[in-house]
Structure 1
Amino acid sequence: MSGDPDAEAREASPGGAVPGDSATHTDIGLALSLNRMGSFDWDLDTGRMHLDDSGLAVFDLDPADFDGWPIDLKPRVPTEEGIRLDAVVSQALKDGSQDYGVYFRVRRRDGSLQWTHTQGSIRRDETGRARRVIGIVRDATLELDFSRQRLALDAERERQARIVESTTAALAHARTVRDVIGVLGNQNNLKRLGAVNVLLGLVEDHHIQLVAEGTAGSYVHEHQYTDVDEDAFPMGQVVRTMRPLFITSAEEFADGYPHLWPYIEPLGITAAAYLPLVALGRPNGVLGLFYAGRHEFTPEERNLLLALASTIAQSLERARLYDQEHDLAERLQQAMLPPSIPDVPGAEVAVRYRSPRTGLDIGGDWYDVIPLPRGRVAAVIGDVQGHDTQAAAVMGQLRIVLRAYATEGHSPATVMARASSFLYELDTERFATCCYTEIDLATGSLQVVRAGHIDPLVRHPDGITRWLAVPGGLPLGLSADFGRLEYPVTRLTLDPGDALLLCTDGLLEQPGTDLGTGMLELRELVAAGPCDVDEMADRLCDVVEERGVKDDMALVLLRRGGGALRTVGKGESAGRLRQHIPPADPDALSAARHMIRSAVRAWGAGERADEIELVADELVTNALLHTDGPAEATVRMVASAGPDRRLRIEVEDRSSAMPRRREPGESGVSGRGLLLVDRLADVWGVEARGSGKVIWCEFAVAAEPVLPAAA
């Protein structure tokens, strides 16, 4: 205590007034009352509480209803609010706090709830015990209303910022006009804007083309093209003036644009915003947003829509330029590819090319199908390094050179070697991968040369699909640079009904997977796909589009015709079937046995089937055991001078060592093969070839043979 009675009185009195100082006390009470505030003095020792008239007004209490006990406030404080208020005050008294503050609700006499705030100062003695609480209570309705308004305003500004941010982010990934349309028509974006429908018009040659509409329906189909000077449409007015147009009632729409109102009325539209899309100082389009239930646009909303319109205009201009450049590049690419694919007797052919749609200017992928003399055809696939106009130009020259070398009659290996030298001499620092195949459609003989490219894929008529693992050389251009122009030629057989697929890596690549996984998935896709080559090609292109093309893609599908058997009459030329058998490939060996067995029975040699199959199996097995490379088995009918026909088996290998017939010992096994051939075949022999030798044998067949129709 200070010893000053006035000071002690001020301390004891709410607001610090001295009892008896009526002028000061009145002024303070008036100030509190005008600010909807009151004071209280709570003696914790006695439990009595003094609450001034302004404080009683805050609680909507009559002075006669308050006897100075806190319990008298209970009718005005709802139970849940009282529990929360008691908890705050009790905690402050216990933990040594000097003050507290809390918001709670008061139920007024008319039943309404009023937000109230109390703030108390706790007075403690020298031991720290709380003895007294002096404080104020005030009506916080206006304060909280203002806070709610501020929060609502902040929330609205945050919502608008999110709209601008999300729309800008989505448009940043929109490369084409179609992508921009997809962003604007997205249901989530429409909901954020509060719109129920959207229209987008592009300005082209003094006309507006409506290119997009939302989900609620519109008049797009009836008025897809309108003139900019046409006053019956608000879009033309917006484009001419480059100023936005806001329509805030159905009556305004009906009176201002009666020609459109019959289309708008069924949609329940009550307001619309037409926004000019201006880029580089000129309008390139107009955006229409339609609303149901709205009758005004606040200044903030108008500013938001104008900001969005500016962003959309820039994205639309960028997308239109991209589309124009991409279309130009695509036309250049198509001009470099063959204008048409010739009809190939004895085969079905399908070709496809898909350009990239992810920002790459142009690709270097190409294909070609080249008819050759004597019933042969060459199928080519390739990919020039790079994605630009130079890659396309190099691709066009390389395709023409390959076609020229092939039609001149050069072997597949020579064609590739000369093409590599040509590319190296262009001095473009580009290389190219390539796969060149040459097919004899009469016999099915297939020659494959690979220059750093993907292996070919073959699908058999029964659906079995496999990659042809063929050796290859360096890519074109690099092989000439390193002086390694030797390209190995792999000889295989394409049976009737077999389909050959050549493709570039754009058909295999997809995000998150390696090339091996892509090859596995492509093989499964081809195995399960349709047999028709055009349907298969379309299906593969659809899959690439679904994945999102990251690179350009080219493919060639060629299916050898035939497969039906017919009888060969006297004087007709004979045909043949051929099977390539790589070393250590049991599937190919089994396929060769199956081919021979089927041919023997179909060609009328059933009575000698076991002998022929045994001899053919011995010849193939000997070729695989005693040589390092693959073998090739051929079965064909040959004409003879007599009435009979002769079935001929040939097994070719790449070894120049001639077989020797020798007598095996009593326990020996080696040497029995040629003895079987000699005993069972009517005639047999060995012919030297430049790349190896052929062991052959013939069997007389009395019945007229049956041959593949394509032979």
Structure 2
Amino acid sequence: MDLTSSRPATRTELRCVRLLLRCTGAAELLATVLTEGPGWITGEGSALYLLDSDGMLRLAASHGLPDWAHERYNLVDPTSDLPAALALRRRETVLLSPDRTRGDQPGTNHGRGTGLVALAVMPLVVDGVPIGALAVALAHRGTVPQRDVETLETIAEACAHRLSHLIDHVQAASPVPEGIRTASYQGDRPLLSLAVRAAGAGAFERDLVTGETTWDSRAYQVVGLPPPPEGDTAPAPDLSRVVHPEDLPDLQAGMADALAAGGPYRLDYRVVHADGTIIRVDESGEVMRDLHGRPVRIAGLLTARDRPAYPERSGPEEGVEPSADASRAGTRSLLLLSLTRALSRAVTVRDVTTTLTDIARPALGAASVVLDLVDEGRLLPVSPAVYGGPYRSELNRLHELSAGVMQQSLARAVPLFSEEDGPGPGGGRLTPSAWAVLPLVASGRQVGSCLITFDTARIFSREDRTMYSAFAGILAQSLERARLYDIHHHRATELQRAMLPRSLPRLAGIVSTARYLPGTEGMQIGGDWYDLLRLPDGAVGLVIGDVQGHNAEASAVMGQLRSGLRAYATDGHDPAATLARTSRLLAELDTDLFATCLYLTLDPATGTLRGARAGHPPPIRISGGSASELELPGGPPLGVAPGWTYQLTVHGLAVGETLLTYTDGLVEDRGEDYDDSVRRMVGGLELWARQSAGVGADGAQDSLEGLAEALTLNVTQRNSRPDDVALLLLHRISTDAATRR
């Protein structure tokens, strides 16, 4: 085995390889990789596959995979497009980003990072003979540096050689390390199935993306229905047909809470058998989420309990006493309360539509939801009911068919309901079996209209209609509040952007690009700014800064600082003197805010680079195949010490070199040390530098734009962005190339 590489291995890597070559089984190998390998291997979602005698990739050990992923991906066809199969077939490492792992791939945990890459899958091959595949979750931010890819491949090669030896020579049995699961899970399934059957439980699974729910034959028996004749599983029946009418709203309320919280849940309710017998059922399951926190799947068990002692009822109206009416009203109130809680956490219109899709739709047992909002007197769709699912085109068609009914309901301000044998909203193949159209009116203003459809026919009782009407009012208020927030955010963002350059000037000898992203918390407005200046002596001025705070005052102070610094710079002051004067300006303003700032000047003809720094992150120079922070001594932030004399530092920027300046929102993450975040970004920049080494002046702009997109995409993948982000990239080209441009 050749463990040499283009750089010396660290002590951690050497120790990891040495320990791998002593392991006595697949579980110990995976545990060693996770505990002794580099710290940026997070562990959650990692797996080790081995080829079995049938040529299939079988899961031998895993860490952090949920039961459903462990079961679904226990056996992988080497000819499939799953990562383990692709890596083994191509004989190369496969890197997957979080947006690719949230769908068909096993869900992984980002660990400490939220970068572009969430999973790395390496083939296990010895002397050309395939053995299996190793998948590990990563904490990288941005592109994985090539040196880290080499480390992963070295570890995988050590695993492959050890496994090959164990397969050929040793039948070893070692204790399974804590946290590691082995293939015995699959062997335990018959015992688990036997235990479930002995308990009289039935299994179910619900795909929240498509809305499809599957029950096994025992689940049908639990609710008193004949099992499906065609096999062990079948589409689930309509719960409104089997759940006791008094308990249905309570069940829907419990499901809404479970969907909002995620994870394990437990519900109990009564079901009515065909002969009128009433049985109490326990439902135990788990709501599973994707990497973005949205519920995507439910799986669980239904267990019948003993018959209760209260009188049996066969229908919603027959033999209902006044106390039962009160009970039914109470359970519907619980459902409304659950939906209200979920909607109260929604801030933007997008949040409201996501709540409607992810929580309200499955809780109500609906097949789809179409939501329209009033915009300049017209109803316009804002949200398909199935995000990313296979029925998007059908939902768009459903909206077209239902537009007339939704407009009519809003104009009359009266909910419309279609029950059994009622006409659908548009007719044709897409006509649902039952539907409700809810006018959304808040404070006397028309907000929109909502269509809720059901796959099976149903009767909307008086209580149901009252409940849906109340839900329409709650939804309308939430949408109105969210629209006001969105308008405020849009105006704040526009104010912020208005204070930034609309475009960067085209200057001789350089190529440049910039990006700005507002924060996603609070007012979503901040004080980050950047500027590119044409100086009187022919030099180029590069400015980037960050005013403390995330409010309108921070944005206003930023505008004043930008104007003042531009004036001092164009008067001919060097970067150190410019920052000193700007600091005094900020101290004289009627504000308690301070600001960090970086100011550089570049002579495009000679490459002379002068700079000064006031508490701001240093720039990063990208040259050849390397990237490193520019040594630039810093001083206090602007406004903190008005009499401070900043140090002027002189460097050089060669033709073909690139400078990255940025605000700390680009790398700052609450779950990771700031210095580690910067190091990960620098590693990604090194890889970009190697990939773009052969790009000439004509392709420099496109290459720079690609780098800016990669850096900002890394930020947008985060679940939360508490700070705004600004970056400015500058690439020096020869003056001859600049003339040709």
TM-score (norm 1): 0.54
State the alpha-carbon separation in 2 of the partners of residues 466 and 156 from structure 1: 67
Could you say which residue in structure 2 is the equivalent of 1:300? 463
Structure 1 residue 205 displacement after superposition: 2.6
The amino acid of 1:322's aligned partner reads: Y
The amino acid of 1:380's aligned partner reads: V
Could you say which residue in structure 1 is the equivalent of 2:725? 553
State the alpha-carbon separation in 2 of the partners of residues 169 and 522 from structure 1: 39
**Structure 2 counterparts to residues 276-425 of structure 1, below 5 A:** 276-425=439-588
Q: Deviations over 1:290-313 (max 9, x none)?
A: 111123112333233223222211
1:502 is aligned to 2:653: no
Could you say which residue in structure 2 is the equivalent of 1:476? 638
Structure 1 residue 233 displacement after superposition: 1.3
Structure 1 residue 552 displacement after superposition: 1.1
The amino acid of 2:723's aligned partner reads: D
The amino acid of 2:646's aligned partner reads: Y
Q: Secondary structure at the match of 2:429?
A: helix
Structure 1 residue 439 displacement after superposition: 1.3
Could you say which residue in structure 2 is the equivalent of 1:247? 418
Structure 2 unmatched runs, 5+: 1-274, 279-306, 693-702
Query: Contact (CA 8 Å) 2:276, 2:313: kept in 1 or not?
Result: no
State the alpha-carbon separation in 1 of the partners of residues 677 and 438 from structure 2: 47
Q: Deviations over 1:96-134 (max 9, x none)?
A: xxxxxxxxxxxxxxxx9999xxxxxxxxxxxxxxxxxxx
State the alpha-carbon separation in 1 of the partners of residues 584 and 367 from structure 2: 64
State the alpha-carbon separation in 1 of the partners of residues 670 and 735 from structure 2: 40
1:177 is aligned to 2:349: yes
The amino acid of 1:290's aligned partner reads: T
State the alpha-carbon separation in 1 of the partners of residues 366 and 572 from structure 2: 68
Structure 1 unmatched runs, 5+: 1-111, 116-139, 566-707
Could you say which residue in structure 2 is the equivalent of 1:145? 312
State the alpha-carbon separation in 1 of the partners of residues 530 and 677 from structure 2: 21
State the alpha-carbon separation in 2 of the partners of residues 154 and 191 from structure 1: 25
Classify 1:322/1:113 alpha carbon distance in 2 versus 1 (closer, same or farther; 3 Å).
closer
1:446 to 609, 619, 644: 609
The amino acid of 1:388's aligned partner reads: N
Classify 1:469/1:174 alpha carbon distance in 2 versus 1 (closer, same or farther; 3 Å).
farther
Could you say which residue in structure 2 is the equivalent of 1:579? none
**Structure 2 counterparts to residues 572-583 of structure 1, below 5 A:** none
1:437 to 600, 611, 636: 600
Q: Secondary structure at the match of 2:654?
A: coil
Classify 1:403/1:153 alpha carbon distance in 2 versus 1 (closer, same or farther; 3 Å).
same
1:237 is aligned to 2:408: yes
Classify 1:300/1:339 alpha carbon distance in 2 versus 1 (closer, same or farther; 3 Å).
same
State the alpha-carbon separation in 1 of the partners of residues 363 and 435 from structure 2: 15
Number of aligned residues: 416
Q: Which stretch shows the higher mean deviation, 496-505 or 295-304?
A: 295-304
Q: Deviations over 1:58-88 (max 9, x none)?
A: xxxxxxxxxxxxxxxxxxxxxxxxxxxxxxx
Query: Contact (CA 8 Å) 1:207, 1:225: kept in 2 or not?
Result: no
State the alpha-carbon separation in 1 of the partners of residues 541 and 276 from structure 2: 90
Q: Secondary structure at the match of 2:372?
A: strand
Could you say which residue in structure 2 is the equivalent of 1:628? none
1:534 is aligned to 2:705: yes
Could you say which residue in structure 1 is the equivalent of 2:673? 514
State the alpha-carbon separation in 1 of the partners of residues 654 and 668 from structure 2: 30
Q: Which stretch shows the higher mean deviation, 442-451 or 516-525?
A: 516-525
1:525 is aligned to 2:684: yes
2:628 to 463, 466, 487: 466
Alignment RMSD, CA only? 3.5
The amino acid of 1:145's aligned partner reads: E
**Percent identical residues:** 39
State the alpha-carbon separation in 2 of the partners of residues 114 and 528 from structure 1: 69
Classify 1:322/1:528 alpha carbon distance in 2 versus 1 (closer, same or farther; 3 Å).
farther
The amino acid of 1:185's aligned partner reads: T
Could you say which residue in structure 1 is the equivalent of 2:340? 168
State the alpha-carbon separation in 1 of the partners of residues 332 and 734 from structure 2: 68
Q: Deviations over 1:197-239 (max 9, x none)?
A: 111111123221122222345777579799xxxx981212221
Query: Contact (CA 8 Å) 2:623, 2:656: kept in 1 or not?
Result: yes
Highest RCO, 1 vs 2 (Cα 8 Å, sep ≥ 6):
2
Q: Secondary structure at the match of 1:252?
A: coil
Could you say which residue in structure 2 is the equivalent of 1:56? none
The amino acid of 2:312's aligned partner reads: D
Classify 1:232/1:392 alpha carbon distance in 2 versus 1 (closer, same or farther; 3 Å).
closer
* Largest Rg, 1 or 2: 1
State the alpha-carbon separation in 1 of the partners of residues 328 and 597 from structure 2: 60
Structure 1 residue 278 displacement after superposition: 2.0
Query: Contact (CA 8 Å) 1:364, 1:386: kept in 2 or not?
Result: yes
Q: Secondary structure at the match of 1:393?
A: helix
Query: Contact (CA 8 Å) 1:270, 1:291: kept in 2 or not?
Result: yes
Q: Secondary structure at the match of 1:300?
A: helix
State the alpha-carbon separation in 2 of the partners of residues 505 and 449 from structure 1: 17
Classify 1:168/1:457 alpha carbon distance in 2 versus 1 (closer, same or farther; 3 Å).
farther
The amino acid of 1:237's aligned partner reads: Q
The amino acid of 1:412's aligned partner reads: P
Structure 1 residue 417 displacement after superposition: 0.8
Classify 1:152/1:377 alpha carbon distance in 2 versus 1 (closer, same or farther; 3 Å).
farther
Query: Contact (CA 8 Å) 1:197, 1:217: kept in 2 or not?
Result: no
